[in-house]
Amino acid sequence: MILRPRITLDELINRLSSDQEFQKNITKWLTINERQPVYADFPRGLDERLIEALGKKGINKLYSHQAEAYREVMAGKNAVVVTPTASGKTLSYNLPVFQTLLMNPESRALYLFPTKALSQDQVKEAQDLIKLLNADIKSFTFDGDTPVDIRRTIRTAGHIVVTNPDMLHQGILPHHTLWIKLFENLRFVVLDEIHAYRGVFGSHLSNLLRRLKRICAFYGSKPQFICSSATIANPRELAEELIEEPVSLIEKNGAPRGQKHFLFYNPPVVNRELGLRRSVVNEVRNIVRKLLPTGAQMIVFARSRLRVEILLTYLRDVAKQLKIDIKKIRGYRGGYLPRLRREIENGLKDGSIQVVVSTNALELGIDIGQLDISILAGYPGSIASTWQQAGRAGRRQGTSLTILVATSSPLDQYIIEHPEYFVERNPETAQIDPDNLFILMSHLKCAAFELPFEEGEKFTADITGELLDFLVEENILRRTDGKYFWMREIYPAEEISLRNSSSENVVIIDTSDNNRVLGEVDLFSAPELIHKDAIYIHEGVQFHVDELDWDEKKAYVHKVKVNHYTDAVTKTNIKVLDILEEEREKGYQKVYGELAVSRVTTGYKKIKFNTHENIGMGRVHLPEMEMQTTALWWEFTDQIFSDPYFRESVIGEGLKGISYTLNNLIPLYIMCDVTDISVVPMVRAPFSHKPTIYVYDKYQGGMGLSKKVFELDRMVLKAVKEHIEKCSCSHGCPSCTGPTLENTLFGKESAIKILQQLEL
C-alpha cells in the first residue's frame, strides 16, 4: 500500500509559508533551484549485455560523472567520485566492475561500506543487475549476520564480496588462507562513503588497507581503488591518505536535482530570563503534527538512540490522536536486530511506513525510496552530514523539503542564527592520522599475525623496524632468519575495535518474553544506557533493566509502562602523565600533554516525559573504565582571581560555564564531532592546585584534536567569550553557559569576568 499525499508537497510548502505561527520561528528559508541533467553516451567497448540490462532499468544514457569515472577506472587509475546523495554514484563503480567481470570471469571485487545496512542495500542493487544480465556473476554480503554454511560458498565463488571494515578486519584478513580465490584475483576495492572515514575510524581504515594490500601482494595481485564520497573539502587528499596512492578526482555532477526548500527553524523562547527555548523534541512533535495529515512521507533524524525512542513515543501518541495507524510510525537505529531493520527499510520503499525516526544510521545512501520531507532534530554536527540527511528527501527529481530544528546548544544556535556559515562556507576537511602510535601498533600486530614480516619490510614510512624490534622485546614477536613471527596464542584483531568502542557488546535479554534477545549495546555505552534500574526504550516500548551482568556481558530487562526515562550521571577523574609542550599567556599557562582519564557511571536521573522534569535520582555501582589520551589544559593564574567576587564556588561556576560553551564551539574550528572531545573544569586540579580546564581527545592514545586546539586557543577562547556576552539570557542558558537550573546565578557572569581577564 503506497501512501499518497492528500495535498501536494508544493501546496504544503505554500501552506507553511503563509502559516504565521510557523514563520515566526524561521531564521532563513533557503530555496535551491532545480538543475537539469548532463548526459553522456555509453562508452565505446561497453559490453552489449550491460547496455541491454541498463536499458531494462530505464537507463539509456549515463550521467557525465558516471562516464568520466568509467574512463578513469578502465584506464587503470584509482578514482574518487564526489557527488551529492542520489546522483548515481553506485553505477559509477558498478559499471567498470561488471565490465571487467564480463571480460574476465576470474576477476574479483571487494566492496567496503561503513555500515552493515548499506552493505545489504548495495548487494541487492548488484544482484538486481546480475539478474538482468543473466550472467554467471555471484554477489554476496559477508558480515556478522551471514550464516556459517553460506560463508564457505562466498570464499570460493563470490565475484563481488560486499562487507564492512570491521568484518574485513576480524573475519577476512586474519583468515586469508581461506580466501585465496579472492586475494589471487582481486581487481577492485570499492570504498563507498569515504567521508565517514575520518578521525579514529579513518585512521584505522588506512591501516586496514595497508594490511589488505600486503596480503594481496603476497598472493600476486594489486587492486585498483574506486572511492565515492559526499561533498567535503578535501576528497582527493582523504582518498590518497586512506589508500596511500594517487587518485583521480571526479566532481562535476551530471545528475538532475529537483527544487529543494531548506528551512532553518529556531524553537521559540519560553523563558527569556533563563534563555530557555522549547525543547527540540517537543518542537519536532508539533511540526510533524502539522505534516502528518497531509500523507507526506518523511524521515526525522535524531542525534542519539535515546532521542530516537523518545520522539518515536511522542509521534505515536500524535498518530493515535489523529486516528492514524501507529504502525506507520517506526524507529530505526543501531541495536535493532537485522530482520527488523530490513522490515523498516522495505516499509519505507513500499510506502507502508509514513514516518521513520532514525539516528544517522539512515544518513548514508541506503535505498529507502523517495521521501518528501526530511526533519533534522538538531544540527547533525557537520555540514557534510547535514547535506546527507537533507538529501534523503527528494532523492530523485521533484520538490523536497528539509527543516533543521535547532536545539538550545551553542553550536546549534550559532548555525541557526548564522545560516551564511552553513550556506557559504565550504564543507569541512576530513582528517585522519594513520600513524597514531596506538592505532599503528595495533594493526602492526594484526599484520604480523597474518603474515610474518621480512626484515626491512615497510608497513609505515619510517619506523616499521623499530616497532617490530620493540614487539620482539615484549615477547609478542620472535625474530628468526630475518623474519618476524607472531608467537602468542591470542588473536590480535579480536582485541581491536575500529570505531572507538570495545570489540565486545552487551546483549539485552527480555525476560518478559521467553528470554528473547532484544538487541545489543556496545560495551562503553552500556554503563550509561543499560545500568541497573535504567529505562531502556526499544521500538517505542519501555523496558526496566533488572540486572546488568558485567562479567557475562548481558543485561536482563522486562517490559514496563512508566511516565519517565533515565539519564546517566558520570564522574571523570584525570591524572597528568606527561607535559609535552607549554606556553605562558596573559592570565594562564596553556599546556599540552598526556593524561590518564577514568570514567564511571555513578547514578541516574529520572526525567519525566513531555515536561522533562527531574523527578528522582538513583545510584549505580559499576567498575571504572580508564584510558590514556592527549590533552590541552589551561591553568589560570591566581592573579586573575584577586577580586573578592571570586569565591571558590563562583570560580567553579564560571569554569563550568566556559567549559560548556567550549565543548560546543570547538567543532566550529576543529574538524570533529562534539563527542570526539571532552572538556572538564576543576576548581583545584590535583596536578597544579590551580583552577584548570582540560580538553582531551576521547580516544586511547589521542587523535591530535586537542593539539589543534592548543594551536588555536586564543581564537577559540575569544569566540567563547563573544558568544556568551551576546546571549540575551540573564544568568546563563542552554545556548551559552548551560542550564541555570544545574548551576547557580553566577555561571554566566563569572565566565565573562574570567574571560575578560585574559585580554583576548
Quote the CA–CA distance of 421 and 264 in Å, as a whole number: 12
- The band of 578, judged by pLDDT with boundaries at 50, 70 and 90, is very high
Looking at residue 266, its pLDDT comes to: 93
Looking at residue 148, its pLDDT comes to: 80
Give the pLDDT mean for 575-584.
94
pLDDT in tens, 324-355: 999 999 988 766 777 787 788 888 888 899 99
Give the pLDDT mean for 615-644.
90
Q: What percent of the chain has pLDDT over 90?
A: 50
Looking at residue 291, its pLDDT comes to: 92
Domains 9-34+258-424 and 39-250 share a fold: yes
Name residue 141's beta-bridge partners. Answer: 162
Determine the length of the chain. 760
Contacts of 237 (CB under 8 A, 6+ apart): none
Say which amino acid occupies 368: I
Quote the CA–CA distance of 380 and 302 in Å, as a whole number: 8
pLDDT in tens, 483-526: 999 998 888 888 787 865 444 678 899 998 888 888 777 676 78
pLDDT at 207 exceeding the cut of 90: yes
Residue 337: exposure state from Cβ atoms within 10 A (0-12, 13-18, ≥19) = middle
pLDDT in tens, 524-540: 678 888 999 999 887 66
Decide which of 199 and 111 is more confident: 111
- The band of 452, judged by pLDDT with boundaries at 50, 70 and 90, is very high
Query: Any idea what the Cα angle at residue 32 is, between residues 29 and 33, rounded to 5°?
Result: 135
Looking at residue 271, its pLDDT comes to: 72
CA 307 to chain centre: 15
Looking at residue 501, its pLDDT comes to: 40
List C-alpha distances in Å: 580 to 104, 592, 594, 715: 55, 6, 8, 22
Residue 352's region, left for phi above 0, alpha for psi from -120 to 50, else beta, is alpha
Residue 149: exposure state from Cβ atoms within 10 A (0-12, 13-18, ≥19) = exposed
163 CB-side CA count, 13 A = 23
Give the pLDDT mean for 440-450.
94
pLDDT in tens, 260-291: 899 999 999 887 766 668 889 999 999 999 99
Give the pLDDT mean for 655-666.
90
Quote the CA–CA distance of 107 and 310 in Å, as a whole number: 48
pLDDT in tens, 101-143: 999 999 999 999 987 667 777 778 888 899 999 888 999 888 8
Quote the CA–CA distance of 756 and 101 in Å, as a whole number: 66
Decide which of 12 and 368 is more confident: 12
Tell which residue, 278, 275, 255, has the closest CA to residue 266.
278
- What are the grid coordinates assigned to 116, written together? 552493515
Tell which residue, 211, 249, 93, 114, has the closest CA to residue 160.
93
CB-CB neighbours of 48 under 10 Å: 9
Give the pLDDT mean for 616-630.
87
24 CB-side CA count, 13 A = 4
- The band of 731, judged by pLDDT with boundaries at 50, 70 and 90, is confident
Quote the CA–CA distance of 388 and 613 in Å, as a whole number: 34
Give the pLDDT mean for 657-677.
82
Residue 136: exposure state from Cβ atoms within 10 A (0-12, 13-18, ≥19) = exposed
Looking at residue 1, its pLDDT comes to: 38
535-538/541-549 β-pairing: antiparallel
Q: What is the mean pLDDT of the chain?
A: 87
pLDDT in tens, 347-395: 888 889 999 999 877 766 566 667 889 999 998 877 778 888 888 887 5
Looking at residue 395, its pLDDT comes to: 56
Quote the CA–CA distance of 349 and 326 in Å, as a whole number: 18
Give the pLDDT mean for 462-482.
91
pLDDT in tens, 241-262: 999 999 999 999 998 888 889 9
Q: What percent of the chain has pLDDT over 70?
A: 92
List C-alpha distances in Å: 514 to 339, 341, 506, 549, 558: 19, 22, 18, 18, 10
Tell which residue, 381, 383, 339, 389, has the closest CA to residue 361.
389
Contacts of 495 (CB under 8 A, 6+ apart): 503
Quote the CA–CA distance of 158 and 181 in Å, as a whole number: 9
Looking at residue 367, its pLDDT comes to: 62
Angle between helical axes of 199-218 and 437-450 (0-180°, round to 10): 30
Among 208-212, 494-498, 542-546, the minimum mean pLDDT is found in 494-498
Name residue 276's beta-bridge partners. Answer: 271
Residue 504: exposure state from Cβ atoms within 10 A (0-12, 13-18, ≥19) = middle
pLDDT at 555 exceeding the cut of 60: yes
Looking at residue 4, its pLDDT comes to: 47
Residue 726: exposure state from Cβ atoms within 10 A (0-12, 13-18, ≥19) = exposed
The phi and psi torsions of 464 (rounded to 5 degrees) equal -55, -50
- The band of 740, judged by pLDDT with boundaries at 50, 70 and 90, is low
**pTM for this model (two decimals):** 0.77
Q: Which CATH superfamily groups domain 9-34+258-424?
A: P-loop containing nucleotide triphosphate hydrolases (3.40.50.300)
Per residue, the 3-state secondary structure of 497-534, as one string, reads: CCCCCCCCEEEEEEHHHCCEEEEEEECCCHHHHCCCCC
pLDDT at 305 exceeding the cut of 50: yes
Looking at residue 125, its pLDDT comes to: 83
Quote the CA–CA distance of 89 and 366 in Å, as a whole number: 12
- The band of 545, judged by pLDDT with boundaries at 50, 70 and 90, is very high
Give the pLDDT mean for 745-756.
90
Give the pLDDT mean for 548-562.
91
Q: Measured between alpha carbons, how far apart are the two ends of the chain, in Å?
A: 61
Q: Give the CATH fold of the 39-250 domain.
A: Rossmann fold (3.40.50)
Looking at residue 518, its pLDDT comes to: 85
Looking at residue 314, its pLDDT comes to: 93
CA 53 to chain centre: 35
pLDDT in tens, 44-75: 999 999 999 999 999 999 999 999 999 999 99
Contacts of 92 (CB under 8 A, 6+ apart): 65, 66, 69, 70, 81, 226, 228, 250
Looking at residue 739, its pLDDT comes to: 62
Say which amino acid occupies 582: E
Query: Any idea what the Cα angle at residue 606 is, between residues 601 and 612, rounded to 5°?
Result: 125
List C-alpha distances in Å: 588 to 32, 584, 679, 692: 47, 6, 17, 9
The phi and psi torsions of 277 (rounded to 5 degrees) equal -105, 160
Owner of C-alpha cell 567569550: 721
Tell me the domain boundaries of the chain. 9-34+258-424, 39-250, 437-495, 505-562, 572-756
pLDDT in tens, 157-184: 889 999 999 999 999 999 999 999 999 9
